[in-house]
Structure 1
Amino acid sequence: MITDWIDVGEVSAERDQNLRHYFYDNGVSTKLVGNNKQYLLLGRKGAGKTAVFSHLASSPTNIFARTDVIVPLSLQSYNWQAHNLLTDNQKAGGFQHRDSWRFVLYVEAVKAIREKLKGQGAAVPKKIEKAARALERIFATPVPSWTDLLGQKLFNLAKIELPKAGLDDDGVSVGGGEISFEQLRDDAGLKHQLNKNVEGLTAYLESSLSETPEDIRVFFLFDRLDEAWVSDFIDESKSIVSGLLHASEHVLHQFGGRLRPLVFLREDIFSTFDINDRNKLKHDCSESLLWDQESIERLILERINYYAKQKSVATLNELQQIFIEKEMRSRATPVKHIFNRTMCRPRDMVAFLDKTFKVAKADALHSPDGQQISTLAIYDAESGYGDYLFEELSDEWRNQNEHFLEYLRTFENLRYAAITSDELKEALIKKGLASDHAEFRAIMRFLFENSIIGITVGKSKQWRYKCFFPSQAFSDADVVKVHPGLIKRLGLTESSSERANAVSDKFILDREPGESGDPSASTST
């Protein structure tokens, strides 16, 4: 019976023990690694960045060369407060933390290159070997991990006397006793000495790494950069992460791609950075993790077919084979119906199908022969999926936009999925969320950019949500419609308000996202 074996894996990549068996990323990993000018992977929450990180951390041989070194650096449980002590207040524009990140990258590079060459039985360049011994003298053997280094071990640098004429094995005077976070935070003299020593060590390590063999590339993978993105630490976190981006660019150019930081970052967080030429950086130095219906279906099939093989069941050629009925009430296919309620992210599709399969199993919603699932399971799963999507959006934005939840609650009071812009404006003004047209328009743009509302453009009969039409620019519209995935969660009627009916064609308002006037048409993404 299909409900005995069908599964789609975990919603969270970091918790999915089987991810390595069915990883699929539509080619972005190869593109990112193959372009030595890029150091940034951008994607919305739920787009699959951590899955790509985990995949690259496993050193896949179809992407990396035998001589490549992979250093995964997840910021989970990372000491953000300690790193914040290294701020250079004389610098601005995100450069305050650039040099402390250079220090981290160079320590890791020295360790990784030395270990790689020794593992191959090859000679370690003299400068790199000397640098490794100097680090062992300072921090003890073995040199601590970077998370330890940016913690208690780093504090001890404030009591170390570095030689002025360069480092050697015996040229470091190591001070006695440990320094606490509080001592370092409150003592300007210790903090100054710490920053001075970090600066000196960084310059020394950078010089030593100039002997990195031409055939070796070291990739530093940074993930979980949103760990400290909480309301009372956003400004500090923004400064630290901006510093990482500046350091990555510096290191990339300094070593001609032999040292390659790869930073995995949420697109909404990147958009908040006050970095010169941010758009140019995004265009030249990043890849975006984008999906369409076809690529998401392929990802889902990889997952489902893995579980089919585990149970010696025939694999599927397409997702539509799962369901008994070929159409939903809207005349969309079951797969299209589910996809239209996602935000074009793999995690959304996984979450919806996971809930659908669990409902089908619990309520025995399958065909008489047990080989297919009824679409009733899809309808029954929608409410639970709506709760999931609401929480995903809240996690993404509530720490950055204090009014975000109030925006969503405003729709609850409007009752209908499709409303006029004037109705929304009046409701926002009444709640004190907008005071004039300019503020209202800024909120509208925000809601559109995050696919919470969709618009129609010109004479088109397509509902355009940013997630399905990423190149669609915001434009003023008489009528807007809430994203289908949120309609049940917000308690809305899937129809138009009277005022919306008065200014627009109801036939358009009741179409599925992206559908044209032809009821049998499918969404183009």
Structure 2
Amino acid sequence: MDIKEWFPEFQVSAETDTELQSYFFQLPEVRQITGSRSWLVLGRKGMGKTAIYEHLKVSPSHSLDGFETICVNFRDYPWPAHQLYKDSLAGELSAYQKSWRYLFFVKAISKLVEIKEQNSEKLSKELKWAKEYIEKIYGNPDPSLTEVIFSKIARIKKIGGPGVDVEDLSFDVGEVSFDDVADDKNLQSKLRSNAFTLLGYFESIYKANCGSIKILIALDQLDENWLQGEIEEYSKVLINLVNTCRSISLDPQLSGHLKVVPFLRTDIYHSLRFNDKNKLLQDSAVVISWDTESLDNMFFERVKKFAPIEFGIDKDKKSGNLFEFTYARQGTPAIKYITRRSFFRPRDIIVYFNKIRDCHEKNKSGLYSSSELYEADRDASASVYNEIIDEWSNQFPEIESLLSVLQTIKVETFSYRDFTEKHAAEFSNVPEGDRRKHIEFLFDNSIVGQKKQGRWEYVCSAPNLKMNIEQEFRTHHALKYRLHLIESRPNQAV
């Protein structure tokens, strides 16, 4: 049986891969999220943040250290609407914190009620009140992000606390839209006043009624739908989010009962400016990282899932089971050949194997050949290039021009002087400080690397690598074919 008949092409995005959980590779980061005090997940785009998020979404609580999960996706989140909840009387680093807490405690109370009802537990008088308020205000016992933000809350005349009959809750006539509130300062004031009044009630009710129940709120795709020109303001929103999650983690009444876990791109986190950022990184962050062995294990789970019984898997070979050869060029196993042409991200590996499959022709062995491994290199290189553009086009719009600089250098290995000459042609009248920042950006994101102990290394495989402007650089091999680079000029040493 030929390999194409039983081994499929895989979805690259975790959220669209309906089979993901059947071959999900259990990362140690999952145990850190649920079994430690850590509450922030960081990773570069394509590192598997969404795969972990999807795993948390479907896993039973007994496999997550007892946590019940609420998974909130911000792909379609109306970021401008969040600004309507900005507390103008608060400082910059706390202006959005109440609005985040409001969102979290609406979701947490909804989940708490759901869990208790599923367990046939009698709701306290306070929880009954909260349940009725949620259903009437948001129109849903488990309101979505949009329902929370665009609820009738700006039209509520007065909010009575627990003990006040929900029938006494009255609304002004009509619904409100984003534009209505954005154009009306009185409505904005009422929106905030009502939301934050509810926050106070919901938070105290949660603390008094959570008992032994543990809830984890996971937040994914927080970098989606950012509008160019609004990034500075969105960054303030995220700083407030991080500080809110930290304050919840430090609250002794919530510790062990509520954990809010944002999944953030590493570069976005590093771009934020607030006190104790590095301390928080050390104390509370889970940073996703991979090496050749863990990537091999990750892909082997897929092999085990789809290999027919008669195939006869060799557990020691792992993903090597897919190839008719043991070693590629220079005695390199196939998986190592592939990871050297990646940024050590699961997405890169999945794409490369998909490209090998595209190249495959039926043969006697029924497996992938070495020529197919090499042929896939070209298409995989184009894919990596496109991923870089997609990753950085919003936060760093100069990225395409910087890749053009590397392409016009024409060779993989180059000096800073080479870079300076081609950079000046692409970026006119740019000061030296900005040119240095550009090469540092390329270096920090593994697009270029340098030699360490006689071997070309990149930050993705050697996180402690430090840039030396006096040493030669090398464009990552993953980009070689897409940028049409040659190894070296005739008079240049390899």
Q: Give the TM-score range, shorter chain.
A: over 0.9
- Superposed structure 1 runs of 4+ greater than 6 Å apart: 164-167
Amino acid at match of 2:373: I
Aligned residues of 2:61 and 2:68 also touching (Cα < 8 A): no
Q: How does 1:118-517 map to 2 (within 5 A)?
A: 118-140=117-139, 142=141, 144-151=143-150, 153=151, 156-163=152-159, 168-170=164-166, 172-254=169-251, 255-309=254-308, 313-317=311-315, 318=317, 319-360=319-360, 363-364=361-362, 366=363, 368-370=364-366, 372-432=367-427, 435-457=430-452, 460-495=453-488, 498=491, 501=492, 506=493, 509=494
CA–CA separation in structure 2 for the residues paired with 1:378 and 1:8:
15
Amino acid at match of 1:324: E
Aligned to 1:78: 77
Q: Report the 3-state secondary structure (helix = DSSP H, G, I; strand = E; otherwise coil) of the residue aligned with 1:71.
A: strand
Amino acid at match of 1:340: R
Following TM superposition, by how much is the alpha carbon of 1:492 offset from its aligned partner in structure 2, in angstroms?
0.3
Following TM superposition, by how much is the alpha carbon of 1:167 offset from its aligned partner in structure 2, in angstroms?
6.4
Aligned residues of 1:456 and 1:463 also touching (Cα < 8 A): yes
Amino acid at match of 1:263: P
CA 1:488 to 1:160, structure 2 compared with 1: closer, same or farther past 3 Å?
A: same
Aligned to 1:514: none
Say which is worse superposed, 174-183 or 340-349, in terms of deviation: 174-183
Q: Report the 3-state secondary structure (helix = DSSP H, G, I; strand = E; otherwise coil) of the residue aligned with 1:463.
A: strand
Amino acid at match of 2:4: T
Deviations 1:148-173 (A, max 9, x none): 1112x1xx322212357766224533
CA–CA separation in structure 2 for the residues paired with 1:497 and 1:440:
28
CA 1:30 to 1:123, structure 2 compared with 1: closer, same or farther past 3 Å?
A: same
Aligned residues of 1:9 and 1:18 also touching (Cα < 8 A): no
Aligned to 1:517: none
Aligned residues of 1:87 and 1:96 also touching (Cα < 8 A): yes
CA 1:497 to 1:25, structure 2 compared with 1: closer, same or farther past 3 Å?
A: farther
Q: Report the 3-state secondary structure (helix = DSSP H, G, I; strand = E; otherwise coil) of the residue aligned with 1:7.
A: coil
CA–CA separation in structure 2 for the residues paired with 1:218 and 1:347:
30
CA–CA separation in structure 1 for the residues paired with 2:403 and 2:126:
58
Amino acid at match of 2:8: D
CA–CA separation in structure 2 for the residues paired with 1:386 and 1:55:
29
CA–CA separation in structure 1 for the residues paired with 2:187 and 2:321:
67
Following TM superposition, by how much is the alpha carbon of 1:76 offset from its aligned partner in structure 2, in angstroms?
2.4
Normalization by structure 1: what TM-score?
Answer: 0.87
Question: Identical aligned pairs, as a percentage?
Answer: 27
CA 1:425 to 1:141, structure 2 compared with 1: closer, same or farther past 3 Å?
A: closer
Say which is worse superposed, 269-278 or 478-487, in terms of deviation: 269-278
Deviations 1:240-265 (A, max 9, x none): 33332222222222311311111111
CA–CA separation in structure 2 for the residues paired with 1:307 and 1:374:
19
Aligned residues of 1:127 and 1:209 also touching (Cα < 8 A): no
CA–CA separation in structure 1 for the residues paired with 2:91 and 2:334:
52
Aligned to 1:519: none
Amino acid at match of 1:490: L
Aligned to 1:522: none
CA-atom RMSD in angstroms: 2.2
Report how many aligned residue pairs link the two structures.
Answer: 488
CA 1:165 to 1:49, structure 2 compared with 1: closer, same or farther past 3 Å?
A: closer
Q: Report the 3-state secondary structure (helix = DSSP H, G, I; strand = E; otherwise coil) of the residue aligned with 1:455.
A: strand
Normalization by structure 2: what TM-score?
Answer: 0.93
Deviations 1:356-415 (A, max 9, x none): 02211xx33x4x232x32111122111111111001111111211121111100111111
CA–CA separation in structure 2 for the residues paired with 1:56 and 1:413:
45
Q: Report the 3-state secondary structure (helix = DSSP H, G, I; strand = E; otherwise coil) of the residue aligned with 1:205.
A: helix
CA–CA separation in structure 2 for the residues paired with 1:332 and 1:434:
45
CA 1:119 to 1:411, structure 2 compared with 1: closer, same or farther past 3 Å?
A: same
Aligned to 2:17: 16
CA–CA separation in structure 2 for the residues paired with 1:392 and 1:470:
21
Aligned residues of 1:5 and 1:308 also touching (Cα < 8 A): yes
Aligned to 1:103: 102
CA–CA separation in structure 1 for the residues paired with 2:210 and 2:300:
42
CA 1:436 to 1:456, structure 2 compared with 1: closer, same or farther past 3 Å?
A: farther
Deviations 1:450-478 (A, max 9, x none): 00001124xx2011100000122333342
CA 1:13 to 1:128, structure 2 compared with 1: closer, same or farther past 3 Å?
A: same
Aligned to 2:43: 43
CA 1:229 to 1:180, structure 2 compared with 1: closer, same or farther past 3 Å?
A: closer
CA 1:86 to 1:469, structure 2 compared with 1: closer, same or farther past 3 Å?
A: same
Aligned residues of 2:340 and 2:477 also touching (Cα < 8 A): yes
Following TM superposition, by how much is the alpha carbon of 1:235 offset from its aligned partner in structure 2, in angstroms?
2.9
Following TM superposition, by how much is the alpha carbon of 1:6 offset from its aligned partner in structure 2, in angstroms?
2.3
Amino acid at match of 1:133: E
CA–CA separation in structure 1 for the residues paired with 2:42 and 2:274:
16
CA 1:477 to 1:322, structure 2 compared with 1: closer, same or farther past 3 Å?
A: farther
Say which is worse superposed, 234-243 or 249-258, in terms of deviation: 234-243
CA–CA separation in structure 1 for the residues paired with 2:433 and 2:76:
41
CA 1:184 to 1:232, structure 2 compared with 1: closer, same or farther past 3 Å?
A: same
CA 1:243 to 1:292, structure 2 compared with 1: closer, same or farther past 3 Å?
A: same
CA–CA separation in structure 1 for the residues paired with 2:419 and 2:26:
38
Following TM superposition, by how much is the alpha carbon of 1:23 offset from its aligned partner in structure 2, in angstroms?
0.2
